[in-house]
Amino acid sequence: MDTEHTGVDSGALDAYSRVVTGVATKLLPSVAALSVRTSRGQGAGSAVTFTDDGFLLTNAHVVAGANGGTADFADGTETRFDVVGADPLSDLAVVRVHNPGAPAAPLGNADELKIGQLVVAVGNPMGLAGSVTAGVVSGLGRSLPARDGRRVRIIDSVIQTDAALNPGNSGGALADSTGTVVGINTAVAGYGLGLAVPINSTTRSIIGELVANGRVRRAWLGVAGVPTPLPPALAERLDQKLGLRVVEVVPGSPAGNAGIYLGDILITAGGQSTQSVQALLRLMLGPAIGTDLPITLLRKNALVDVVTVPAELN
């Protein structure tokens, strides 16, 4: 036996184990197993405490059709919870327990993740409370369709991981090596393929709206577009390869009232590049309603500035 190499492998395993056990020790007290009962039957999932006064973050599909349920924590505490608000279009929901006491888990920024980075999933799969699995970030920038009635929206920047996820993990924490929550586990897409809604500036806004209002107000412009390449000279000058070519403008909509026409190419909105439909949708949250949104567009080889006022999406 090659004792030298065996020692190296053992040392590496010890370091890996120390990270995973450290994350588990930090997060297990903050993660609850949720039980809900609806007209469709009984369901289960996980949730992560993110405030000291008992607010927990989970998936919208975990609490769909329920007003409340039961939360069980790792220390044996069982308490009722109420659903504060849910947003199916981001698959995020906020619940609040009746007897708070669990420590708040720190929320991080998934935009800083790197492919290959170690992540740890904490949840309650298959009714097995307090389960911990580990893996790596397998992919970033994935997309996941979400539906609310007839409305369909793409959840972008979804995290792909090979950390084992099973039914019941939904709503649980995906954390980095420091025990900071960077995602909420949401789906098992196949063998060795799990997905998590990222914690970033967009989802933080959604969480804030759910806590404050119990729902997420969304804005709309009344315009549909498809990504299209910018002219090479302009792309080089702006350091931006794509824009959104307008293929539909709803009459009387904020876009129509602002003077946006078919064939225009949206380049920036609110100072941010609009290279995809998702980039524009990220701006269409509650704070945008009734607020001036400057847009720069390309029309007949000329740059044109217009100002829109997004309206609330009903």
190 falls in which pLDDT band (50, 70, 90)?
low
Q: Summarize the confidence of residues 248-259 as an average pLDDT.
A: 93
What pLDDT sits at residue 276? Answer: 84
Neighbouring C-beta atoms of residue 188, cutoff 10 Å:
17
CATH number assigned to the domain covering 219-312: 2.30.42.10
Question: Which residue type is seen at 166?
Answer: N
Weakest mean pLDDT among 16-30, 69-83, 89-103, 276-290:
276-290
List active site positions.
61, 91, 170
What pLDDT sits at residue 148? Answer: 65
Q: Do domains 110-199 and 219-312 have the same CATH topology?
A: no
What pLDDT sits at residue 175? Answer: 97
pLDDT greater than 70 at residue 288: yes
- CA atoms of 290 and 46, how far apart (whole Å): 36
What pLDDT sits at residue 1? Answer: 44
Q: Summarize the confidence of residues 22-34 as an average pLDDT.
A: 94
pLDDT greater than 80 at residue 296: yes
What pLDDT sits at residue 40? Answer: 78
Report the top-level CATH class of 110-199: mainly beta
pLDDT greater than 70 at residue 83: yes
pLDDT greater than 50 at residue 167: yes
pLDDT greater than 70 at residue 11: no
Domains of the chain, residue spans: 110-199, 219-312
- pLDDT tens for 235-248 read 999 999 999 999 99
- CA atoms of 125 and 189, how far apart (whole Å): 15
- Alpha-carbon distances, residue 84 vs 58, 97, 125, 173, 194 (angstroms): 11, 10, 24, 19, 27
Mean pLDDT of the chain: 88
pLDDT greater than 70 at residue 151: no
pTM of the entire structure?
Answer: 0.80
Cβ neighbourhood burial of 86 (10 Å; 0-12, 13-18, 19+): buried
The string of DSSP codes covering 206-229 is HHHHHHHHSS--BEE-SEEEEEEE
Inter-residue contact 85 to 95 (CB < 8 Å): no
Neighbouring C-beta atoms of residue 17, cutoff 10 Å:
11
What pLDDT sits at residue 149? Answer: 65
pLDDT greater than 80 at residue 252: yes
